[in-house]
Amino acid sequence: MKTNKEMIKYIYIPLLLGLLSFTSCKENEVMDYDLPARVYIHEIKIENTIEVKLTERNYSFALRTTGPVLDEDTVKVSVKLMGNTENRDRIFRAEVDGDNSTAIAGTHYKLLDGVLKANEFEGYIPLVIYRTPDTKDQAVHVALKLVETADLGLGNPADLTFKVIWGDLLLPPANWPYFFGIYSTNKYRFAIDNLGLTDWPQATRWATGPEEGIYTGSQLQAFAAQLNRDYAIYRIEHGPIYREDDVENKIEINYTPGY
């Protein structure tokens, strides 16, 4: 039979270990909380309800069929904060990897500093791109890489680079193959004409509600089904549309993934 002293010992030891474990956890939490603020690129798409990281984005001046003709536009590459917000604006910055870029600074683009607004967790890299005659025939691109500033350090090395491609010709939306099948210019033009849209960015799984110009996976699937119906009607009245016109084995357009 255990004495009172032995019972106290058996109770005390686990209690002490538990307290030490709790203290250790709290210390780790404080250490994590006090890490220097860092930023990383956060460009994503949703595939089967799962977030998938994007490494590049396309932009086309040729898609602007209404409104004023643009000679330049600003592509905003999303950046996210790791660490604490502050009650002041902070600067972050990207550089262009010239060895992996075809665009020429001053001719095709101007890269500006990003600003992480006070008390915000998200910002963007502003890349001003220009509409130039040479991009009617060939798209250009820049490879961006976040660099450290006095205000903000760098996050995961795997999330510091991003590629932007643009031109004055049709370029497919990033999520095209997941909902609309094999890309072709003819398919894209038919989609633009019938949907009245040139791009259809997908909502993240954290979306809190409907947002204009942002679409759920179900909506994008409905768009694809609508396009197949519209094409069936068009075909009866006007004849077939092929993916590519100047090929021997012509294949009709279809908006089913994989086709």
Q: Give 77-129 pLDDT, tens digit per residue.
A: 999 999 999 999 999 999 999 999 999 999 999 999 999 999 999 999 999 99
Tokens of 187: 């398919």
For the whole model, what pTM was predicted?
0.64
* pLDDT of amino acid 11: 47
What is the tens place of the pLDDT at every residue in 49-67? 677 788 999 888 887 655 6
- Which of helix, strand or coil describes residue 100? helix
Residue 161 three-state SS: strand
pLDDT of residue 246: 84
The C-alpha atoms of residue 14 and residue 7 are separated, in whole angstroms, by 12
Q: How, if at all, do strands 38-41 and 153-154 pair?
A: parallel
Reference 83, options 181, 154, 137; nearest CA is 154
36-171 has CATH 2.60.40.720 classification: no
pLDDT at 47: 62
Share of the chain above pLDDT 90, in %: 57
Predicted pLDDT of residue 132: 95
- Which of 10-19, 76-85, 183-192 is modeled with the greatest confidence? 76-85
Where are the domains positioned within the chain?
A: 1-34, 36-171, 172-259
The whole-angstrom separation of Cα 5 and Cα 13 is: 12
Tell me: the pLDDT tens digits for 193-217? 898 887 777 765 544 445 567 788 8
* 208 Cβ contact partners less than 8 Å away, ≥ 6 residues apart: none
The pLDDT score that the predictor gives to residue 42 is: 95
Higher pLDDT, 44 or 226: 226
Of 61, 43, 183, 204, the C-alpha closest to 134 is: 61
Does pLDDT of 13 surpass 60? no
Looking at residues 139-164, what average pLDDT do you find?
A: 97
What CA–CA distance (Å, rounded) separates 112 from 109? 10
Structure tokens at 92: 């972050």
Report how far residue 184's alpha carbon sits from residue 171's, in angstroms, rounded to the nearest whole number.
9
| pLDDT tops 80 at residue 191 | yes
pLDDT at 161 over 70: yes
The pLDDT of residue 63:
74
Task: Say yes or no to pLDDT of 45 above 90.
Answer: no
Residues 101-131 as b or e (16 or more Cβ within 10 Å = b): bebeeeebbebeebebeeeeeebbbbbebbb
Give the lowest-confidence range in 98-112, 183-197, 220-234.
Answer: 183-197
* Separation in Å, CA 153 to CA 54, 118, 121: 22, 17, 14
* Whole-number Cα distances in Å, 127 to 93, 114, 180, 230: 11, 9, 28, 37
Q: Report the pLDDT averaged over residues 20-26.
A: 46
